[in-house]
């Protein structure tokens, strides 16, 4: 039970005792007290006037007096017009701490009964994953974790865009310019080699725009099942898949289900035929198929080219239909950059025109692009930051910063290596996820590694500091307990308040699909602990009851930090 729910419950008892009437749940409006007033939580009295038949101030005064006189958990009140500001007592905060400590599932919300599919990553097999993909992957994985914590059943999925014009561009360049090069012969990861082919194709097209006709011929052959084209396509895709797998593993990304565009685009073609039969789509004289959305305020949308090949949205139609029919989804979240906002407007509208009622259950989690201090990245010009290079850079930054501290002398080289990786990835994930998804962001690797400020390493260091205190304490205590007779300091009450708000933060973050809410919650909690640590000599406390309470409090705090950062995909070290 939250503090707001507790106060609402007790206020209902007060209304019953004072006015012999039951107040409905909607009448009990409780919120955090504004900073310019004294109190912890505020009860809005105005909805209760129809029961009290008294002035707002008199009603607030009467309820406040009853609560202080009958609830040991409420220590004081002040009434400002129709607002009753209540202060919770040490009894309440001590009980709250004890309740949370004894609840191993704290932070996991009850099941909603909803089944949600989250699609993210969904790369093209013509280039390696880059910084933009990193934000997509971290956001998709974190949102999946967040929805699970909020009580949803979540299916993590990706759609590999392994066919189409872009893929044929890399294939054509490899045929013309790469002399049979392979990952083995070049010593390159397969996805990087294919990415080089894509960059080279851009140069070829600049030199001779007519090569695009050759690429379209290759695509037509692919859709017709030409053995030679299919063999080349299969070989190059396998190189890329192997490269992707390494990058996903390094980032800690996994999927429950993987779809491939070459398996789903025909499903889309079947839906296009259904739309033609229904009169929703029209076939032009050149053979192309279109959906006219002008009456809906949009444009005409191409679904099938004149040569019979499909476009990107064609397979999206088929994939969506398969997923909803296979999994009986309550919701489908697409994690895709904001440059595709129009695409998802069109997708939902066309699905609705085809008669699918679940079209409204599609949600596009639109996020801003990641830019570097030097500007925007461009794949075809080869100016992107590869995910693999970024992961290595984060490791190197973590190593350099950690070695400057000189605190790792007792660690083995293997332990140091694991720690540098943990810090580097933690810094990367936190720096990206602390920004609201809707916002564009500027990524600076060096800034993200800072051990002070709003960074992942700061939170990781906080956790390591708590574990150091607990290791020293374990020599004296077998288990940590909360003594109800111990008085909590103002700082300790502040920590309990923040900890107890964690389930609400989960609910808030899930409702807005924003891991940034959890990231910044973790930072606030870590920051409050560090202030408490500098002001409170935890292990020097002579009174056993107070010492046990403090140890229980910081052990709980570390546990909540692990849960919160776990949603972000971060790991917290015990030593640092």
Is beta strand 289-292 parallel, antiparallel or unpaired with respect to 300-304?
Answer: antiparallel
Domain membership flag for residue 574: no
Same domain assignment for residues 172 and 82? no
**Residue in 14, 52, 51, 45 with CA at minimum distance from that of residue 28:** 45
* Interacting residues of 188 by C-beta distance below 8 A, sequence separation 6+: 196
Domain membership flag for residue 443: yes
Question: What's residue 466's pLDDT?
Answer: 96
CA distances from 355 to 274, 332, 345, 352 (A): 11, 17, 16, 5
- Confidence band, pLDDT 50/70/90 cuts, at residue 132: confident
Same domain assignment for residues 50 and 197? no
Q: Is the pLDDT of residue 382 over 60?
A: no
List the alpha helices (DSSP H) in 150-210: 165-177, 183-186, 190-207
Q: Which of 225, 260, 295 is at the close of a domain?
A: 260
Residue owning tokens 């409170």: 536
Q: What is the pLDDT of residues 402-454, one digit of tens each?
A: 887 777 778 889 999 999 999 999 999 999 999 999 998 888 777 887 778 89
Domain membership flag for residue 429: yes
Domain membership flag for residue 575: no
Q: Tally the domains of the chain.
A: 3
Same domain assignment for residues 61 and 181? no
Domain containing 244: what range? 164-260
The arithmetic mean of pLDDT across residues 113-126, rounded, is: 95
Same domain assignment for residues 81 and 174? no
CA distances from 8 to 45, 77, 505 (A): 11, 15, 20
Same domain assignment for residues 75 and 188? no
Domain membership flag for residue 168: yes
The arithmetic mean of pLDDT across residues 357-384, rounded, is: 76
Between CA 361 and CA 351 the distance in angstroms is 11
The answer to whether the beta carbons of residues 303 and 290 sit under 8 Å apart is yes
The arithmetic mean of pLDDT across residues 280-305, rounded, is: 95
The arithmetic mean of pLDDT across residues 545-573, rounded, is: 95
Same domain assignment for residues 561 and 464? yes
Other C-beta atoms lying within 10 Å of the C-beta of residue 566: 17
Percent of the chain residues past pLDDT 90, beyond the cut: 80
Domain membership flag for residue 64: yes
Q: What is the pLDDT of residues 403-415, one digit of tens each?
A: 877 777 788 899 9
Question: What's residue 363's pLDDT?
Answer: 97
Question: What's residue 421's pLDDT?
Answer: 94
Q: Is the pLDDT of residue 375 over 60?
A: no
Q: Which of 61-65, 94-98, 156-160, 261-265 is the least confident region?
A: 261-265
We report the CATH number of the domain holding residue 25 as: 3.30.1360.70
Between CA 432 and CA 473 the distance in angstroms is 36
Query: What's the mean per-residue pLDDT of the chain?
Result: 92
- Confidence band, pLDDT 50/70/90 cuts, at residue 475: low
Domain membership flag for residue 572: no
Same domain assignment for residues 535 and 431? yes
Same domain assignment for residues 522 and 392? yes
Query: What are the backbone angles phi and psi of residue 415, rounded to the nearest 5°?
Result: -65, -40
Query: What are the backbone angles phi and psi of residue 290, rounded to the nearest 5°?
Result: -135, 155
Q: What is the pLDDT of residues 315-345, one digit of tens each?
A: 899 999 999 999 999 999 999 999 999 999 9
Q: Is the pLDDT of residue 545 over 90?
A: no
Same domain assignment for residues 71 and 186? no
Same domain assignment for residues 450 and 550? yes
Q: Is the pLDDT of residue 479 over 70?
A: no
Q: Which of 220-224, 300-304, 326-330, 384-388 is the least confident region?
A: 384-388
- Confidence band, pLDDT 50/70/90 cuts, at residue 477: low
Q: Which of 244, 260, 276 is at the close of a domain?
A: 260
Other C-beta atoms lying within 10 Å of the C-beta of residue 31: 12
Q: Which of 260, 277, 309 is at the close of a domain?
A: 260
By three-state DSSP, how is residue 58 classified? helix
Domain membership flag for residue 250: yes
Q: What is the pLDDT of residues 170-199, one digit of tens each?
A: 999 999 999 999 999 999 999 999 999 999
Same domain assignment for residues 83 and 175? no
Question: What's residue 377's pLDDT?
Answer: 46
Q: Is the pLDDT of residue 380 over 50?
A: no
Between CA 68 and CA 72 the distance in angstroms is 7
Question: What's residue 576's pLDDT?
Answer: 84
Q: Is the pLDDT of residue 379 over 50?
A: no
Q: What is the pLDDT of residues 43-97, one digit of tens each?
A: 999 999 999 999 999 999 999 999 999 999 999 999 998 999 999 999 999 999 9
Structure tokens at 8: 């609402």
We report the CATH number of the domain holding residue 486 as: 1.10.730.10
């Amino acid at each position: 039970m939250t503090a707001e729910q507790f106060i609402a419950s007790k206020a209902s008892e007060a209304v019953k005792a004072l006015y012999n009437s039951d107040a409905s749940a909607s009448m009990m409006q409780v919120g955090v007290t504004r900073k310019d007033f004294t109190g912890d939580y505020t009860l809005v009295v105005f909805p209760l006037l129809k029961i009290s038949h008294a002035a707002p101030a008199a009603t607030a005064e009467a309820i406040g007096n009853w609560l202080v006189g009958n609830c040991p958990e409420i220590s004081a009140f002040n009434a400002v017009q129709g607002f009753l500001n209540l202060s919770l007592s040490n009894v309440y905060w001590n009980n709250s701490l004890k309740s949370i400590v004894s609840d191993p599932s704290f932070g996991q919300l009850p099941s909603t009964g909803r089944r949600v599919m989250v699609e993210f990553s969904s790369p093209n097999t013509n280039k390696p994953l880059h910084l933009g993909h990193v934000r997509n992957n971290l956001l998709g994985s974190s949102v999946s974790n967040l929805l699970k914590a909020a009580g949803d059943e979540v299916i993590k999925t990706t759609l590999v865009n392994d066919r189409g014009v872009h893929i044929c561009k890399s294939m054509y360049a490899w045929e013309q310019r790469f002399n049979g090069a392979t990952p083995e012969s070049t010593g390159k990861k397969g996805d990087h080699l294919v990415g080089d082919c894509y960059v080279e194709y851009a140069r070829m097209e600049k030199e001779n725009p007519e090569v695009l006709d050759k690429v379209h011929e290759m695509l037509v052959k692919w859709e017709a099942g030409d053995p030679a084209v299919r063999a080349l396509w299969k070989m190059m895709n396998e190189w890329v898949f192997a490269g992707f797998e390494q990058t996903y593993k390094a980032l800690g990304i996994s999927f429950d289900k993987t779809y491939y565009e070459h398996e789903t685009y025909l499903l889309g073609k079947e839906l296009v035929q259904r739309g033609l039969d229904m009169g929703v789509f029209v076939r032009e004289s050149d053979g192309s198929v279109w959906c006219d959305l002008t009456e809906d305020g949009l444009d005409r949308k191409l679904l099938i080219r004149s040569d019979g090949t499909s476009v990107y949205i064609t397979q999206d139609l088929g994939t969506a239909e398969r997923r909803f029919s296979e999994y009986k989804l309550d919701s489908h979240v697409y994690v895709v950059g904001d440059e595709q906002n129009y695409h998802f407007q069109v997708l939902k509208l066309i699905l609705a025109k085809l008669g699918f009622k679940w079209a409204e259950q599609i949600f596009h989690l639109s996020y801003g692009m990641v830019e570097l201090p030097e500007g925007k990245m461009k794949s075809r010009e080869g100016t992107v930051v590869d995910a693999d290079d970024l992961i290595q850079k984060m490791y190197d930054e973590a190593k350099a910063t950690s070695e400057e501290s000189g605190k790792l002398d007792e660690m083995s080289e293997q332990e140091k290596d694991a720690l540098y990786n943990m810090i580097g990835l933690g810094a990367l994930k936190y720096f990206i996820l602390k920004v609201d998804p809707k916002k564009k962001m500027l990524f600076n690797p060096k800034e993200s590694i800072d051990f002070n400020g709003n960074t992942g390493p700061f939170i990781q260091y906080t956790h390591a500091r708590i574990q150091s205190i607990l290791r020293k304490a374990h020599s004296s205590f077998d288990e940590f307990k909360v003594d109800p007779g111990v008085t909590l300091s103002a700082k300790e009450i502040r920590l309990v308040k923040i900890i107890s708000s964690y389930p609400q933060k989960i609910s808030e973050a899930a409702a807005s699909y924003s891991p940034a809410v959890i990231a910044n919650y973790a930072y606030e909690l870590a920051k409050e602990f560090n202030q408490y640590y500098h002001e409170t000599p935890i292990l020097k406390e002579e009174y056993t009851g107070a010492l046990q309470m403090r140890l229980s409090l910081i052990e709980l705090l570390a546990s909540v930090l692990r849960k919160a950062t776990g949603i972000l995909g971060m790991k917290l070290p015990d030593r640092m």
